[in-house]
Amino acid sequence: MPLIQAGCELHYQVTAPTSFLFHVAAANTPHQVVQHEDVQVEPAKDYDICYLGAEDNRVFRLETIPGVLTLHYQARVVLTPVVESPPHIQETDYPQVPQDVLPYLNPSRYCESDRLAAFAIAEFGHLERGYSRVTAICEWTHGYLTYQSGSTDASTGACDTIILRAGVCRDYAHLAIALCRALCIPARYVSGYALGLQPPDFHGFFEAYLGDHWYLFDATQLVSVEGLVRIGTGRDAADAPFATIIGAATLQKKVVSAQELTREISPQPVANEPAVSTA
Amino acid sequence: MPLIQAGCELHYQVTAPTSFLFHVAAANTPHQVVQHEDVQVEPAKDYDICYLGAEDNRVFRLETIPGVLTLHYQARVVLTPVVESPPHIQETDYPQVPQDVLPYLNPSRYCESDRLAAFAIAEFGHLERGYSRVTAICEWTHGYLTYQSGSTDASTGACDTIILRAGVCRDYAHLAIALCRALCIPARYVSGYALGLQPPDFHGFFEAYLGDHWYLFDATQLVSVEGLVRIGTGRDAADAPFATIIGAATLQKKVVSAQELTREISPQPVANEPAVSTA
Amino acid sequence: MPLIQAGCELHYQVTAPTSFLFHVAAANTPHQVVQHEDVQVEPAKDYDICYLGAEDNRVFRLETIPGVLTLHYQARVVLTPVVESPPHIQETDYPQVPQDVLPYLNPSRYCESDRLAAFAIAEFGHLERGYSRVTAICEWTHGYLTYQSGSTDASTGACDTIILRAGVCRDYAHLAIALCRALCIPARYVSGYALGLQPPDFHGFFEAYLGDHWYLFDATQLVSVEGLVRIGTGRDAADAPFATIIGAATLQKKVVSAQELTREISPQPVANEPAVSTA
Amino acid sequence: MPLIQAGCELHYQVTAPTSFLFHVAAANTPHQVVQHEDVQVEPAKDYDICYLGAEDNRVFRLETIPGVLTLHYQARVVLTPVVESPPHIQETDYPQVPQDVLPYLNPSRYCESDRLAAFAIAEFGHLERGYSRVTAICEWTHGYLTYQSGSTDASTGACDTIILRAGVCRDYAHLAIALCRALCIPARYVSGYALGLQPPDFHGFFEAYLGDHWYLFDATQLVSVEGLVRIGTGRDAADAPFATIIGAATLQKKVVSAQELTREISPQPVANEPAVSTA
C-alpha cells in the first residue's frame, strides 16, 4: 500500500478584500484515504470546508483583507487502487453507461467534444475498443503536442490546442478528454499531486470510464498513474483550479511536493503500466 | 395555483440500432409538481428513467432498432412558485453563495464567462446590484440580438453570439448566463415548456441565483416567466437537450404544446412581472 | 496545345437594386489565352470590365433593378503551360523570393498561417524541401479531410477545417495554402473551371511558388492540374468569389461546364502528373 | 507645410542566419514626401529595397549572420495633405468605388468583416452616411475598448477584440476597419510614426475611402491625424509589421521618435479636426 506525502505552500499578496477557494486538499475516496492532514493559514484565519460539484471536491473557503496570505497544506495519503490488467478492460456500451457517468459525455468549456466527432473517428475510430484505445489517445496526444510553458492560457480549449500543437498538462488532459467523449467514452478531468513530476507542481490528468471503473490516465506521459494523488474531479479544469480568487491577489510563490514514504512506485512512467482506478 | 398541461410528440425515422435519452419530462420540484403524466412509446417499448446531473434531471432512456419511433408525452403540472417583488431581491455576496450553487459560476461549453469579464463589467458593472441587474442583462440581450431561426447551430456559444448578433432561445439564454457569471452572479440553463410561445416549441431560458433563490428569466422576452414549466436544469444546453441520440435517427416531426387549464397566467409577457422561483 | 471550352450560366432573382461583380471570366496570362469569349446578360444590360487586385482579376461589374438576371459566359481557352518534371523543382529560399511574391507568405482571412507554424513543421518539417513537399501537403489534406457539401460556410477558415475534418474545394485549398505559408512557401488561391470535375461546378485550387514559377495544385485531388482554367487569383477565396453581390439577389440556378476540344488531357487525375504552371 | 522628423532604432540579438524585412521607411506619396533619409545598419551591411503589395510599401531587406544587428532609420518628411471639411465628405456609393479600391472591402486575416454585417448595421446602420459615420466608428471603438498593453497578441483579430474589449493600437484599427468594410466602406490599415504619441512607438491607424480620397483615422484617438507619417499600407497589420523575421532574432531595444520641426500641428488630438488625406 503506497503511502504518499504531498502538499503545497501558496503565498499571495492580497490588495483588496478577497475570497479564496483553495482546491488543494487530497480527496478521500474508497481507494485514496487521507491518513493525516495539516492545513495552516497565515496569518491565522478561519476557513470553511466546502464540497463542490458532482464529485464533492473538498475545498477550503476563506475571506481575507489586504496583506500577505500563505496557505500551507500537507497530507499523508494511502492509495489502495483497483489494479487491473489493461487487456481485460472493455469500453462500456452506451446503454450500460450508469446515469451518474452520463454527464461526462457532454462537451464542456475546455473539451469541445461536440466539434470533434469526425476528428476522433478519423484518428481512433478504427482502433479496437477498450482500455488500449484510451492509451492510444494518450500516446497520440503526447506525440502530437509539445509541452511548452506559457504556450497557452486560461481560455485555451482542446480545439485551440489541436491548432497550436503545444500546451501544458491541463491542455493535454483537455484534448484527451475531448477525444474520448467524441468517441462516446466518458471522461473527466482530475487535478492532483504527482509523484516524480519534474519540476514539482500541481498536475492535470484525467479519468476515462471503462468496464465499470474510472481509470486514471496521464496524457503528458510524464509520470506513472500509480503515483497520482487526486485533489479535484470535474468536467474540465474549470471545476478544479488550485485556487479560485474573487478580489485582488497575486501569487508570489508556489511550492508543491509529493514523495512516497513506502518506495513501491516507480517515480518514472513505466512501460506496460497496469490500469489503476482510485475513484 | 396555475395548472398547466404540456407535452410533445416526437417522431423519428431510425436507421440503425440507436440509444435515445429523452429530456422531455416535466421536473418535480417543491414548486412544480407533476400531477399526472402519460408517456407512450410507439412501437411499445420499455424505457428506463434516469436522473442526470446535479439537478437530477429526469430522463427517459431506451434502445431501438431501425424503423419508426414515436414518443408521446403529456403532463399536468401544478406550479406553486415563490413569488417576490423584484426590488427586494439582492445579489448574493460571493462569501454567502452556497456550495451547491458555486459550480454555476464556472464557465461552461456554451457560456464562456471566463472571456467576458471586461465585457460584462463594461456593460453592466455600473448598474445597481440585484434582481434588476439581471433584468437589465435580459433586456440588453433581447435588444442586442435578433431572433433568427437557423442563424446558429449546435456548436454556437455566447462569444459567437456576441459577434453574430443573432440566435435562437438557447443562444439568448447562453449569452445572458455567461454575462451573469462574468459578474459573479450564479446562473444556469433551464429547458422547458412555455405557455404562450409562438410558434409552440421547447423553450430555453435560465435561472440566476439571487437572495437565496434561483429566479427564472427569459432572455428572449417572448413569454411570461410565470408560465414556464421546467424540464431540465444544467450548466448550459449541453446538459438539457430535448433528445440525445447515439446511433442514427432523423427527427421527422415535432409537436410541442402547453396550455393553462386555470387561466391565471397571462399568455404574453407582462410589464412589471413579479420575480418567480420554482427550483 | 489543349483547347478548352468553359463557361457558366447564372440565374438570379433580384429583389432590390443590386450591384454585381462577376468573377467568371477566364484569365489571360502568358500561358492561358482566351481565344474567343461570349458574355451575355439578360435582360440586355451594359457592364464594365474591372481589373481587381494584385493579379488584375478580370471582373464584370453591373447594376440591376429587381427582376430576373441571367449571365451567360462561354470562353475558348488555349493552355500553353510551362511543364516541368517535379523532381527538378526546388523551394525558393526566402532571400530569393521576389518582391511581388512576398505578400503571398502573409496570413489571410481564411488561411491563418500565423497560427499554424508548429502544426506545419510537425507534419511536414521533416520532408525534403521542394515540389514534392507541396504534393505531400495536398495528399495529406486529401486524406485528412472528407469532401462534404454543406459541412462549411462562407466564414470557415483553415483552422476550423482542421478541427472539423470536412469541407469543400475552397476549404481544401485554404488549408493547403495555410500550411504552405506556415512553411515559408508562398501560396495563393485560384478559382477556375476544371476539366472532368464531377458534378461540374466552379473549382477552388491553389498555386505554390517554387523555383521561379507559380505551380498549380489541387488539394482535393479530384481533377488533373493540366485541365484547370484560371478565373481569379488572390490571397484566398475572399479575393475570388464567383459573384459579389451588394443588394438583394438569390441564385436560382447555376450551370457550369468545361470540356476539352482537343483530347490531350486526361479527364481524371493521373499518377505522376507533371508540374504545371500557367501564371 | 508641416515638416516632421521621424525615425527608429532597432537592436536585435541574432542567433541563426536570419532574413529581415524592415517596414520602417516613411512612404513617398503625392502628399507625403521624404526630403531626407538616413539608413544605417550595424555592423555595416548591404540591403535591398523592395516594394511590397498593392501600395508598393518600401521595405529594407537584408540577410544576417548570428551576432548583434542594429538598424538606425531617420527621415525628414514634408506633409502636404489634402484637407477637407468633414461635413462635405460623402460615402462612395458601391457602383462608384474605383477598381483599385474594391479589394479593401474584402475581409482579411485580422478584419473579419464577413462575420460582422449584423453587428455593424445594428451599431452604425442608422447613422447618416459619410465621414461622420467613420468618426462615429472611431469614437465607438475608442469608448468600447480599453487600451491595454499585453492584452492581445499577434493572432488577435477584430472578433476577438469585440469579445475581450481590450487591445493596442493595431487592434483598435482592425476593429474599426472591419466595421467599415461590413458597412461597405472601403478601409485599410496604415502603420506609421505619430507625432505626440506617448510613450513614443510605432503606431497603427487606418484609412477609409470616402468621396474620392483615402482619409486618415486614428481609432485610438491618441493623436491628431495631422501628425501621422505613413510607413506601410495594407489590408491589415499582416501587410505592415515593422519587421518580418525569418530565422532567429530577438528584439533587445526599440526606440521610436517623431517630432515636428515646424510647429504647425497640435501634438494632442484636437476637437473638430479637419479630414486629412495623404495617400
pLDDT digits (tens, 9 = 90+) for D244-273: 999 999 999 999 999 999 988 887 787 888
Q: Report which residue type is found at B113.
A: S
For residues D115 and D158, the answer to whether their CB atoms sit within 8 Å is no
Joined together, the cell numbers standing for residue D162 give 469585440
pLDDT band at D1; cut points 50, 70, 90: confident
Dihedral sign for Cα atoms in the order D198, D199, D201, D203: negative
SS (H, E, C) A148-171: CCCCCCCCCCHHHHHHHCEECHHH
CA B173 to CA B190: how far, in whole Å? 9
Q: What is the pTM of this model?
A: 0.97
Environment class of B59 (CB within 10 Å of its CB; exposed 0-12, middle 13-18, buried 19+): buried
| Whether B106 and A103 lie within 8 Å, measured CB to CB | no
Please tell me whether residue B226 adopts helix, strand or coil conformation. helix
Centre a 10 Å sphere on the Cβ of residue B16 and count the other Cβ atoms it contains.
Answer: 10
pLDDT band at C56; cut points 50, 70, 90: very high
Q: Report which residue type is found at A34.
A: V
Interface mutation target, options D124, D140, D159, D163, chain B, most CBs of B under 10 Å: D163
Joined together, the cell numbers standing for residue B92 give 448574493
Selected residues 123-162 of chain C with any CB under 8 Å from a CB in chain A: 144, 146, 159, 162
CA distances from D47 to A147, C252, D191 (A): 38, 55, 21
Place of cell 434582481: B131
pLDDT value at residue B270: 78
Peptide bond into A199 cis (omega under 30): yes
Q: Report which residue type is found at C166.
A: A
The pLDDT mean for chain C works out to 96
Q: What is the DSSP letter of A131?
A: H
For residues C196 and C224, the answer to whether their CB atoms sit within 8 Å is yes
| Whether B163 and D159 lie within 8 Å, measured CB to CB | yes
Measure CB to CB from residue B165 to each of D118, D144, D164 and give the nearest one. Answer: D118
Q: What is the DSSP letter of B108?
A: B
pLDDT digits (tens, 9 = 90+) for A100-158: 999 999 999 999 999 999 999 999 999 999 999 999 999 999 999 999 999 999 999 99
- Say yes or no to pLDDT of A69 above 90: yes
pLDDT digits (tens, 9 = 90+) for B234-247: 999 999 999 999 99
pLDDT value at residue A170: 98
pLDDT value at residue A269: 79
pLDDT value at residue B169: 98
pLDDT value at residue D271: 80
pLDDT value at residue B89: 96
In Å, how far is D152's CA from the nearest CA of chain B?
A: 12
For residues B56 and B43, the answer to whether their CB atoms sit within 8 Å is no
pLDDT digits (tens, 9 = 90+) for D179-208: 999 999 999 999 999 999 999 999 999 999
CA D204 to CA D191: how far, in whole Å? 5
List chains touching D (3+ CB pairs under 8 A): B, C
pLDDT value at residue B75: 98
Mean pLDDT of B26-33: 97
Q: What is the DSSP letter of D105?
A: G
pLDDT digits (tens, 9 = 90+) for C138-152: 999 999 999 999 999
- Say yes or no to pLDDT of C58 above 90: yes
pLDDT value at residue C271: 80
| Whether A119 and C159 lie within 8 Å, measured CB to CB | no
For residues A269 and A218, the answer to whether their CB atoms sit within 8 Å is yes
| Whether D118 and B146 lie within 8 Å, measured CB to CB | yes
| Whether B106 and A238 lie within 8 Å, measured CB to CB | yes
pLDDT value at residue C75: 98
pLDDT value at residue A260: 95
Environment class of C199 (CB within 10 Å of its CB; exposed 0-12, middle 13-18, buried 19+): exposed
pLDDT value at residue B267: 74
- Say yes or no to pLDDT of C60 above 90: yes
Mean pLDDT of D225-247: 97
Q: Which of D264, D230, D260 is nearest to D28 (CA)?
A: D230
Measure CB to CB from residue A146 to each of C116, C118, C163 and give the nearest one. Answer: C118
CB contacts of D156 in chain C (<8 Å) are none
Q: Specify whether the backbone of D88 is left (phi greater than 0), alpha (psi in -120 to 50) or beta.
A: alpha
pLDDT value at residue B100: 97
For residues D162 and D145, the answer to whether their CB atoms sit within 8 Å is no
| Whether C112 and D155 lie within 8 Å, measured CB to CB | yes
CA B196 to CA B223: how far, in whole Å? 6
Measure CB to CB from residue A106 to each of B50, B238, B246 and give the nearest one. Answer: B238
Please calculate the CA angle A239-A242-A248 and round it to the nearest 5 degrees: 100
pLDDT digits (tens, 9 = 90+) for D148-173: 999 999 999 999 999 999 999 999 99
For residues C58 and C25, the answer to whether their CB atoms sit within 8 Å is yes
- What is the radius of gyration, based on Cα positions, of chain A? 18
In Å, how far is B162's CA from the nearest CA of chain D?
A: 7
In Å, how far is A136's CA from the nearest CA of chain B?
A: 23
CA distances from B124 to A157, B105, D64, D274 (A): 27, 17, 53, 35
CA A178 to CA A119: how far, in whole Å? 10
- Say yes or no to pLDDT of C269 above 90: no
Q: Report which residue type is found at B182.
A: A
Joined together, the cell numbers standing for residue D116 give 460582422
pLDDT digits (tens, 9 = 90+) for A176-213: 999 999 999 999 999 999 999 999 999 999 999 999 99
pLDDT value at residue C106: 98
DSSP B124-188: HTTSPSSHHHHHHHHHHHHHHSEE-TTSS-TT--HHHHHHH-EE-HHHHHHHHHHHHHHTT--EE
Question: What is the largest distance, in Å, between two alpha-carbon atoms of chain C?
Answer: 57
pLDDT value at residue B271: 80
Helix, strand, coil % over all residues of chain B, rounded to 5: 20, 40, 40
Peptide bond into C43 cis (omega under 30): yes
Mean pLDDT of B64-93: 96
CA C179 to CA C92: how far, in whole Å? 16
| Whether A19 and B102 lie within 8 Å, measured CB to CB | no
CA A242 to CA B107: how far, in whole Å? 16
Measure CB to CB from residue A116 to each of C115, C159, C163 and give the nearest one. Answer: C163
CA A24 to CA A22: how far, in whole Å? 6
Contacts of C25 (CB under 8 A, 6+ apart): C34, C37, C39, C58, C59, C60, C73, C75, C231
| Whether B19 and A102 lie within 8 Å, measured CB to CB | no
CB contacts of C122 in chain A (<8 Å) are 144, 165
| Whether B95 and A19 lie within 8 Å, measured CB to CB | yes
In Å, how far is A112's CA from the nearest CA of chain B?
A: 7
Centre a 10 Å sphere on the Cβ of residue B255 and count the other Cβ atoms it contains.
Answer: 12
Place of cell 439581471: B134
pLDDT value at residue B266: 81
Measure CB to CB from residue C94 to each of D94, D155, D246 and give the nearest one. Answer: D246
For residues C47 and C64, the answer to whether their CB atoms sit within 8 Å is no
| Whether A115 and B238 lie within 8 Å, measured CB to CB | no
pLDDT value at residue B273: 87
pLDDT band at A270; cut points 50, 70, 90: confident
| Whether C19 and D50 lie within 8 Å, measured CB to CB | no
pLDDT digits (tens, 9 = 90+) for C159-218: 999 999 999 999 999 999 999 999 999 999 999 999 999 999 999 999 999 999 999 999
Determine what percent of chain A is predicted with pLDDT higher than 90.
95
Q: Which of D176, D167, D187 is nearest to D120 (CA)?
A: D176
Joined together, the cell numbers standing for residue D73 give 532609420
Measure CB to CB from residue C159 to each of A122, A146, A163 and give the nearest one. Answer: A163
| Whether D155 and C114 lie within 8 Å, measured CB to CB | yes
Interface mutation target, options C116, C123, C147, C163, chain A, most CBs of A under 10 Å: C163
- Say yes or no to pLDDT of B98 above 90: yes
- Say yes or no to pLDDT of A1 above 90: no
Selected residues 185-244 of chain B with any CB under 8 Å from a CB in chain A: 235, 238-239
Q: Which phi and psi angles does C199 have, rounded to 5°?
A: -70, 155
- CA-based nearest residue in chain C for residue D60: C99
pLDDT value at residue C270: 78
List chains touching C (3+ CB pairs under 8 A): A, D
- Say yes or no to pLDDT of C267 above 80: no
CB contacts of A106 in chain B (<8 Å) are 109, 238-239
Torsion of CA A36, A41, A44, A48, to 10 degrees: -80
Mean pLDDT of A86-91: 93
Contacts of D227 (CB under 8 A, 6+ apart): D2, D4, D194, D195, D196, D258, D260, D265, D266, D267
pLDDT value at residue C88: 87
- CA-based nearest residue in chain A for residue C146: A118
Beta strands in chain A (DSSP E): 3-14, 18-22, 32-42, 48-52, 57-64, 67-79, 82-84, 146-147, 166-167, 187-194, 203-210, 213-217, 228-234, 243-246, 249-260, 275-277
- Say yes or no to pLDDT of A267 above 80: no
Q: Report which residue type is found at A14.
A: V
| Whether C103 and D52 lie within 8 Å, measured CB to CB | yes
